[in-house]
Amino acid sequence: MAEDKEKSLTDETLPKEPEETSASWDWDAAVPQTDTSNITLDDLQETEEKVVEQPAEEPEENETEKEEEVPASNPDDDGLCIVCGKERGNSPSDLYCNACRAKFLRTNYGVGHIILAFVMVIVAALGYFVATSTVTVSSKLYKAEQCISEKRYNDALNLCSEAFDATDKLNSGVNAVIKGINSNATNQDWFTEGEKATHLILETYVHNMTINATDRQTFVEAVDKYYADGELDQPRNANIKKLYNAIKSVDAIATSLDQKMKTEFAVAKEDGTYDVKYDEGIKFFDSYKVDTDIEKGLMEYYKFMLAYYANKDSKTALGFIDNAYKISGEYGYLYLQNYMGMAWQYKKYDKVLELSKIATELNVNDASAYYYAVKVYIEKNDLDSADKMCEEMRKANPDGIDYYSTKAEVLRRQNKLDEAIEICRKGIVAGSDSEIYRQQAIAYLLKSDKENALEAIKQSYEIAAQNQQLSIQTANTVALICFICDDTKTYEEVEAMFKQNNMELSDSVKKCIKGDITFEDIFMKGSGEIS
């Protein structure tokens, strides 16, 4: 078998050497060491002729294969570039010369192309901006709807406000892009919050309303603005429509009664006091003809104001506002905030706690209700309960900043001054307000750190003045700390402001300035506040 295989490879597979060429080939002449100096041109030509003499059968076969690979030539093809007429490329399939081919492979961009590309980039960016903004608005409205179902009306109102702000930002962004293209374009409201947003924000108003003139006006104007004719009659707006009609009837009466109070029954005098015609006013309100419960409750509320201006005792004054709260029936909550605040002012602490509980049942994150409860516990020196109520306040209002100043007051009363200062720092980072800086200033001064105390109280003063929310309590604190820290200029400025408004600094501040009591006596004993 091995012999057969060898024979097969030798005899059949391998090509045979032509005998003539093999016999005439000089192997010795092929050796590199051979002297070639005596070889002539005739010798080379003879050798070349011998090498070329090969069997004719195999080359013919190869030539046939090559001829089959060459495509048939077009008799009309002149081999020139179809554009410029010059000799074209090497490939038979080329229609162009190398220069024309390079030209066609290059794309020229003109001004129009650049402008188009720029516009496409703007459109893409605008599309992304619009998409993300609309998602933000939708997300906030969805969360607001959840908050309403959980009676978290403060949170719902904040989320609705954020949704409106996001829509304003979206419109501003689109208008800016359009003005970048056309400077003569006018601002347009390209996007709105939608009917759902309108309904949600008015629902929050329904549950956050008070009897105060500002709240009444805000609610009525909002309904008039967002609801066209007929929309208020939709079934889903039943609660809004009901309160709207009630508030409008109250508003019409209150407008005339406010004027009557100012000009006849409680006239302000230059010294800051009031000339009150108490008996005449009570008789007038008793005889005023009203029909609905909410209107009857309004009459009791005006009696309360008369009693307050006339400096009547707490039983008389609070008796009228209690009547207003009860007579108004389902709208009694309109008086709840004022009732709670006046109960605190008249030092009816158990009533404050009672009203605070009712308020948080109606609105889980009613920050003022938690605040008054904390103040009552501090006043009763029940600091553990005050601290627990602070944490309840934070749980109900995780994004609110009232927690920080309230917590700082509790920590200060517990003589944890460093912790009080630290919680104020966190509050400043979270959003800050005048009260946070005031509490921080008090804690600093109790640590005898006059430099930081002065800096903090001036921040409190500045923020309150800018927001036009400078309370008597804050103004007194500013005056006292600035006096102690030798900031005579600010102290005299605040003192002049009191005199200009026919008022005086509080008794505790005047006593502290005279040296009759200490700063610690005011803020670490008793109510822990300026009185």
Last residue of a domain, one of 151, 181, 208: 208
Q: Give me the pLDDT at residue 497, please.
A: 94
- Domain annotation covers residue 40: no
Total tally of structural domains belonging to the chain:
2
**What residue ranges of the chain have pLDDT lower than 50?**
1-25, 27, 29-31, 34, 41, 44, 48-54, 56, 59-61, 63-68, 70-71, 190
Q: Rounded to 5 degrees, what angle do the CA atoms 165, 168, 172 make?
A: 140
Q: Give me the pLDDT at residue 391, please.
A: 95
- Domain annotation covers residue 517: yes
- Domain annotation covers residue 384: no
Q: Rounded to 5 degrees, what angle do the CA atoms 392, 397, 403 make?
A: 70
Last residue of a domain, one of 173, 208, 243: 208
- Domain annotation covers residue 462: yes
Query: Which pairs count as long-range contacts for 454-458, CB under 8 Å and 24+ apart, including other chains?
Result: 454/481, 454/482, 454/485, 454/487, 456/424, 457/481, 457/482, 458/482, 458/487, 458/490
Distance (Å, whole) CA 167 – CA 141: 12
Q: Give me the pLDDT at residue 269, please.
A: 87
CATH number at residue 444: 1.25.40.10
> In which residue are the tokens 């605070």 written?
356
Residue 122 identity:
I
Distance (Å, whole) CA 412 – CA 394: 18
Domain, as residue range, for 463: 401-531
Distance (Å, whole) CA 362 – CA 369: 11
- Domain annotation covers residue 37: no
**Could you please report the per-residue DSSP string of 437-448?**
HHHHHHHHHHTT
Q: How many Cα atoms sit within 13 Å of 37 on the Cβ side?
A: 2
- Domain annotation covers residue 444: yes
Last residue of a domain, one of 208, 243, 273: 208
- Single pTM value for the model: 0.69
Q: Give me the pLDDT at residue 144, please.
A: 84
Q: Give me the pLDDT at residue 27, please.
A: 46
Give 145-192 pLDDT, tens digit per residue.
Answer: 888 989 999 888 888 877 767 666 656 766 676 666 666 767 665 455
Task: Tell me the backbone φ, ψ of residue 3, rounded to 5 degrees.
Answer: -65, -45
Give 405-453 pLDDT, tens digit per residue.
Answer: 999 999 999 999 999 999 999 999 998 899 999 999 999 999 999 999 9
Q: Is the dihedral of CA 72, 76, 82, 87 positive or negative?
A: positive
- Domain annotation covers residue 453: yes
Q: Give me the pLDDT at residue 158, please.
A: 82
- Domain annotation covers residue 525: yes
Q: Give me the pLDDT at residue 174, please.
A: 60
> How many Cβ atoms are within 10 Å of 389's Cβ, its own excluded?
25
